[in-house]
Structure 1
Amino acid sequence: MKHKNNLLDTLVQQTHNLPNRILPLGSKKHNTNKHTKYIRKINYEKTQLIVIDEPRKKDYLYLKRYFRFHPLHLEDILSPIQRPKIDLEDEYIFFVLHFPQFNSQTQKIDSKEIDFFLTENEVIVVINNQFLALDEIITSIFKNKKEREKIMSKGTAVLIYHLFDKLFDSLFPLLEDLEKNLDTIDKNIFTIQPKNIADHISFLRRNVIYCQTLVKPELNAFTGLENTNHKFMTKEIKTYFSNITDHLKKIWDRLEDIKELSDNLSSTFESYLSFKTNETIKFLTIISTILLPLTLLSGIYGMNLSFLPLSNHPNALAIISFIMFLIITLMLLLFKLKRWI
């Protein structure tokens, strides 16, 4: 009888240890604090947000253990991917997005990769590099109860939409900085040293083109996502995501405008630089042309030949100097007549 009671107690204890709910992509209830300090988790009703900072091998094993994600997608979170993409699976959607961020030390725009898993009840955010805009969004969700209720109360698809919306909104100040930089170059293109202008234009064009290489595939990916029949992409959710596509189109259009204006500025600067170079070459050519007969004349009289005209004249220096001055005057008049100067 005692043995039966022990068996009953064991069964009751095991029953209490069962998960509170069955995860659609996992087989076990997971305690993130047990696995790694780099994983943060917050719940609101049935919606769960999991944030993984600087993923490592143990994070890969954690996701592999508790979620049925494709192995290739799990490998993607550990290695940088060259281009943004959106992969659709039956039970989840995998997003790889790149966001431009200005590096004040190099004066260049770098990309920050952020990976997202969208499941029925979870949004998993994998942050490979610190991105200030995302840090502010995540902090707001974790600390602000009203913000958390507003963003997470309508499910995971709306939650990830709000994340995307705020992230892409954070790019507009960067575009404004590029436009201000363009305006500064435009105002000072003829006053600053040519080398500095060339450097500014080169950095600007490089940054704009780099942003375009990030935005273009994301625009195509989100446009394709709107046209998909995935079970997460209901009519209501597609309406939300169409706003993301609109943001990306606006960003792309502004980048195109900046690129076109920077190309025009570059062309204008090259024309101006070519003109200044030609002016310098023309000036040096005129000097060389004037000095040529003077050099010839001085070279001849420098040979000290006795039979040369004026070689024994007491005023030879004054006469030869006058002849040289006359040659210079006549050549300048000729250049003026030809409109070369």
Structure 2
Amino acid sequence: MNIQTVSFQGLSFINVQKPTDFEIKYLKNTYYFNPLNLDDYMHRTQIPKIENHKKYELIVLRFPLFSETVPENSHQYGVHLPTLNVPGKKKRLVSSYVNFFVSKEYVIVLHAGELPQIDHIFSLCQKTLHNRTEYMSQGSAFLVYKIIDALVDDCFPTLNELTSTIDLIDKELEGRQSQKTLEEISTTRRNLVVFHTMIKPILPLLKELEDGKHEDFNGRLQPFWGNVLDHIQKIWDRVEDNRELIEGISDSNESLLMTQTNLTIRVLTVITVIILPLQVLGGFYGMNVEGLPFTKGPWTFEIHIGMILAVAIPLIIFFKIKRWF
């Protein structure tokens, strides 16, 4: 059974990693949770929220992580995405949900095992009395705050990686463009949109906690939630800045590609205009028709070459004056 427990001063910290139907049934029968809350987790139909129940409080949040495939219990826009095996696929940002079931006697955390901070804090509480005192001695709400604060702070390395990717793309565009750069722009734009949709619903929830709208999580903890809100607001601002930056880079890249395309089309057009009259001339003299001028005589070939040059050279000079190539 994927359920681990550590207890201290009447508070149980219960870590449920990758729950199956067996663990869900156990939680339902032992703690009398609303079956809909557990079913929503298993069927991946959740949205970030805070719900008040008679015997417990429910907090649902989601956090970003990088993955080359879509993890089994990850969610995007509330819809499970299939796993695609694409060779050489870039890192994609996906989200993983965390459910907190909180009462005065316990904190039960359901998660898919993809966010290391949860297991790290649980491991610390298991190891020493000092760590249990630090995390669990001030009640269940404080323990939830510590876990959420660690999860929010763990978003910064992910955001830093996105920022580094944008800087790398910008440097690559200064040199020669490649298909790899275009793929990185597309993937990074998509990752920032996903990051944006993850952070957006968390902001009002933390604002509610800071404003004291949930009694069991407030009191002396109210300024602590303000600190978490400040961190998530910084993340939001950086995501917005990075979105604007990658959009600007993408627009500049598209303009550059359009310019290069126009230049190529212009050169091909000039070549076509020069060759067209020569083709017409060649077509006339290629016909087996009597009476065409300059078809007989010792200088026939030279005359034909001169006629071709007489048509081509003025066109080339004209296009050069116009700076069309």
TM-score (structure 1 length as normaliser):
0.84
Runs (5+) with no aligned partner, structure 2? 70-88
1: CA distance between counterparts of 2:15 and 2:218?
Answer: 25
Preserved CA contact (<8 Å) 2:18 2:112: yes
Q: Which residue matches 2:41? A: 77
Contact 1:47–1:122 (CA<8 Å) still a contact in 2?
A: yes
Q: Does 1:58 align with 2:22?
A: yes
Of 98, 108, 111, the residue aligned with 2:62 is 98
Rounded to whole Å, the distance in 2 between the matches of 1:299 and 1:229 is: 87
Alignment check: 8 A CA contact 1:83 1:214 kept: no
Who is 1:310 aligned against?
Answer: 294
Corresponding position of 1:284: 268
Deviations, residues 263-294 of structure 1 (Å, cap 9, x unaligned): 11111111111101100100100010010011
1:1-341 aligned at under 5 Å gives the runs: 37-104=1-68, 106=89, 107-341=91-325
| Structure 1 Cα separation of the partners of residues 214 and 98 of structure 2 | 22
Task: Give the unaligned 5+ runs of structure 1.
Answer: 1-36
Name the residue aligned to 2:85: none
Q: Count residues with an aligned counterpart.
A: 305
Question: Highest Rg: 1 or 2?
Answer: 1
Superposed displacement of residue 194, structure 1: 4.5
CA contact (8 A) 1:47 1:121 kept: yes
Mapped to 2, the partners of 1:239 and 1:46 lie a distance apart of 25
The alpha-carbon deviation at position 45 of structure 1 amounts to 1.2
Question: Is 1:108–1:207's contact at 8 Å kept on the other side of the alignment?
Answer: yes
245-254 vs 53-62, which moves further: 53-62
Q: Percent identity?
A: 34
Question: Residue type of the partner of 1:307?
Answer: G
Q: Give, as a single letter, the amino acid of the residue that structure 1 aligns with 2:15.
A: V
Report the equivalent of 1:8.
none
SS at match of 1:307: coil
Q: CA separation in 1, counterparts of 2:274 and 2:114? A: 65
SS in 2 for 1:43: strand
Closer, same or farther in 2 for the Cα pair 1:104/1:335, shift >3 Å? same
Query: With structure 2 as the length reference, what TM-score do the two structures score?
Result: 0.88
Letter matched to residue 130 of structure 2: K
User: Post-superposition shift, 1:184?
Assistant: 0.8
